[in-house]
Chain A
Amino acid sequence: MIIITLQRDKCIGCNYCVELAPEFFRMSKKDGKCTLLHAVEKKGFHTARTPFEHAEEPLQAAAKACPVKIIKIKPL
């Protein structure tokens, strides 16, 4: 299991996460920020889970590439 969190309000809309992990992120055409798919929002933090361990590599790449460091990946 991997837990993904996104502090969405700080997103500057660079699109890197969508390039690197398109199965998990989409750019919102509404406000130009990225959206973590199937996530639950609590106090500005959006959290999603995936059982697929092979997703860790692209997710870590997205977290690393994020210029404002708002993506956190936690493998359980």
Chain B
Amino acid sequence: MSSIELMSPAGSFESLQAAIDNGADSVYFGIEQLNMRAVSSINFTLEDLPEIVARCKPKGIHTYITLNTILYDHDMTLMRGIVDEAARCGVSAIIAADHAAIAYARQKGMAVHLSTQANVTNVETLRFYSMFADTMVLSRELSLNQVKKIVEAVERENICGPSGKPVQVEIFAHGALCMAVSGKCYLSLHTHNSSANRGACRQNCRQKYYVTDEDGNELMIDNEYIMSPKDLCVIDILDQVLDTGVRVLKIEGRGRSADYVAVTTRCYREAIDSYYEGTYSKEKVENWLERLATVYNRGFWNGYYLGQELGEWTEDHPGSHATQKKVYLGPGLGYFPKAGIGHFRIEAYDLKVGDPVLITGPTTGVQYHTIHEMMVDEKPTIAAVRGEEVTFPVPFKIRPSDKLYKLVQSED
């Protein structure tokens, strides 16, 4: 067991369960609208908090609420309500950047994690915030050398948070990067009145742009996606990352699907564990990279950690470069526990013996399975088509809230 904390995103109950099942040490999630994914993820409500804590606490998984947008005066009651309810339900900490949220959380005795929105890039800023926060995520724009110097200063100077323990330094390990420093972007606000800093980013940077001069002549540029960085991935430099002494690795992606959470959490769990077991190897890295590429990604790079001067930008097409895609087949209907048989209705496409499938649901999380045999109308068959009800053996419970997907290779 390592002392590194792997923190996974939970934008839904499906993702939450996927994080729990795949080895996350902690999860972070938004409640109501005061978080940086107010629009792009479903977001939990205050009523969901006891359920989230009940799923995580018995397994020793920490729970963190993102309360990290900029705040207006009219947000104070909701902000206080979220902190109060978090304290009452036993949530582990509040991730905040606005001083109002930081101050209130401390007043209520809640642990505070400093959000990337606070943009910590040096020891003195970290020292200042150590009056309030026990864990701080550093700016994604720092190099590993800079990260290491900050971690060393925390140890050398014994910079402690309110808990009396040295401040834990966290960095982003995987997921989307923003073209603006630590997400402080105003593009979306300027074009759509839709503020990224209120969790309503319209992702202007992910679109294709052409550059034309005032006479209408189009300029030759190498890359149409001039503002869309590739996704951050450090699994191939994890040894260097962990050598800096950071204690928490955060996976970005509250707006992404549960299978993304399952695969990224599992890969980083394996990578962290193998680093401490002394089995971290090039072959393993290749396998992890291959698996990470199966779920949503814009292509990978190491971010700014190795001191690269300019960003690497999305290539070929916008959106995901995932090598695998999931095709919705239909809902779960039930489960026969004695026989271990799942029952589904096929509402789209078809299902064949040999197909790899993914089953996802708010309680089930994300489960992968391959179809070895199946039945339609109680007769064995090799294919089921739209409109048919199918049963097949599965080693886990199927619920009516589950959805069945077929995994297919992406065409490009």
Give every chain A residue within 8 A of B12 (Cβ-Cβ).
Answer: none
Interface of B is mostly: loop
Instruction: Provide the bound-state CA to CA distance between A23 and B78, in Å.
Output: 24
Q: Select the residue from A12, A28, A30 with max chain B CB neighbours within 10 A.
A: A12
The answer to whether B77 and A13 have CB atoms under 8 Å apart is no
Contacts of A1-26 to chain B: CB distance below 8 A: 11-16
- Partner of B74 from A32, A64, A68 at Cβ < 8 Å: A32
**In the complex, per-residue mask of A55-76: 1 if CB is within 8 Å of any chain B CB, else 0:** 0000000001111100000000
B33 sits at the interface (CB 8 A): yes
A31 sits at the interface (CB 8 A): yes
**In the complex, per-residue mask of A33-45: 1 if CB is within 8 Å of any chain B CB, else 0:** 1000000000000
- Partner of A13 from B75, B192, B193, B194 at Cβ < 8 Å: B75
**In the complex, per-residue mask of B30-48: 1 if CB is within 8 Å of any chain A CB, else 0:** 0011100011000000000
Give every chain B residue within 8 A of A30 (Cβ-Cβ).
Answer: 77-78
- Shortest CB–CB separation between residue A31 and chain B, in angstroms? 5
**In the complex, per-residue mask of B60-87: 1 if CB is within 8 Å of any chain A CB, else 0:** 0000000000001011111100000000
Give every chain A residue within 8 A of B76 (Cβ-Cβ).
Answer: 29
The answer to whether B33 and A33 have CB atoms under 8 Å apart is yes
Give every chain A residue within 8 A of B78 (Cβ-Cβ).
Answer: 13, 30-32
Give every chain A residue within 8 A of B195 (Cβ-Cβ).
Answer: 14, 67
Instruction: Provide the bound-state CA to CA distance between A13 and B195, in Å.
Output: 11
Instruction: Provide the bound-state CA to CA distance between A65 and B191, in Å.
Output: 10
With A12-B199, A14-B198, A32-B34 as known contacts, state yes or no: A66 contacts B193, CB within 8 Å. Answer: yes
Residue of A nearest to B74 (CB): A27
- Shortest CB–CB separation between residue B135 and chain A, in angstroms? 26
The answer to whether B39 and A12 have CB atoms under 8 Å apart is yes
Give every chain B residue within 8 A of A66 (Cβ-Cβ).
Answer: 193
Instruction: Provide the bound-state CA to CA distance between A65 and B200, in Å.
Output: 13
Give every chain B residue within 8 A of A28 (Cβ-Cβ).
Answer: 74
Instruction: Provide the bound-state CA to CA distance between A9 and B198, in Å.
Output: 16
Give every chain B residue within 8 A of A33 (Cβ-Cβ).
Answer: 33
With A14-B200, A32-B33 as known contacts, state yes or no: A65 contacts B77, CB within 8 Å. Answer: no
- Shortest CB–CB separation between residue A57 and chain B, in angstroms? 17
Report the interface size for chain B: residues with CB under 8 A from the other chain.
19
Instruction: Provide the bound-state CA to CA distance between A33 and B198, in Å.
Output: 13
Give every chain B residue within 8 A of A65 (Cβ-Cβ).
Answer: 193
The answer to whether A12 and B198 have CB atoms under 8 Å apart is yes
- Shortest CB–CB separation between residue A27 and chain B, in angstroms? 4
- Shortest CB–CB separation between residue B84 and chain A, in angstroms? 14
With A15-B72, A67-B194 as known contacts, state yes or no: A31 contacts B199, CB within 8 Å. Answer: no
Residue of A nearest to B202 (CB): A67
- Partner of A11 from B33, B72, B199 at Cβ < 8 Å: B33
Give every chain A residue within 8 A of B74 (Cβ-Cβ).
Answer: 13, 15, 27-29, 32
- Partner of B192 from A11, A29, A31, A67 at Cβ < 8 Å: A67
Instruction: Provide the bound-state CA to CA distance between A2 and B319, in Å.
Output: 40
Q: Select the residue from B34, B74, B194 with max chain A CB neighbours within 10 A.
A: B74
- Partner of B200 from A15, A32, A67 at Cβ < 8 Å: A67
The answer to whether A68 and B200 have CB atoms under 8 Å apart is yes
- Pick 14 A–B contacts, CB within 8 A, sort by A: A12-B33, A12-B198, A12-B200, A13-B74, A13-B75, A13-B78, A14-B193, A28-B74, A31-B78, A32-B74, A32-B78, A67-B195, A67-B198, A67-B200
Please give the residue numbers on chain B whose beta carbons come within 8 Å of chain A beta carbons, in ascending order: 32-34, 38-39, 72, 74-79, 192-195, 198-200
Please give the residue numbers on chain A whose beta carbons come within 8 Å of chain B beta carbons, in ascending order: 11-16, 27-33, 64-68
In the complex, besides A13-B33, A13-B75, 17 extra interface pairs with C-beta distance below 8 angstroms are: A12-B198, A12-B199, A12-B200, A13-B74, A13-B78, A14-B193, A15-B72, A15-B74, A30-B78, A32-B34, A32-B74, A33-B33, A67-B193, A67-B195, A67-B198, A67-B200, A68-B39
Nearest first, the 4 A-B pairs at minimum CB distance are A67-B194, A27-B74, A32-B78, A32-B75
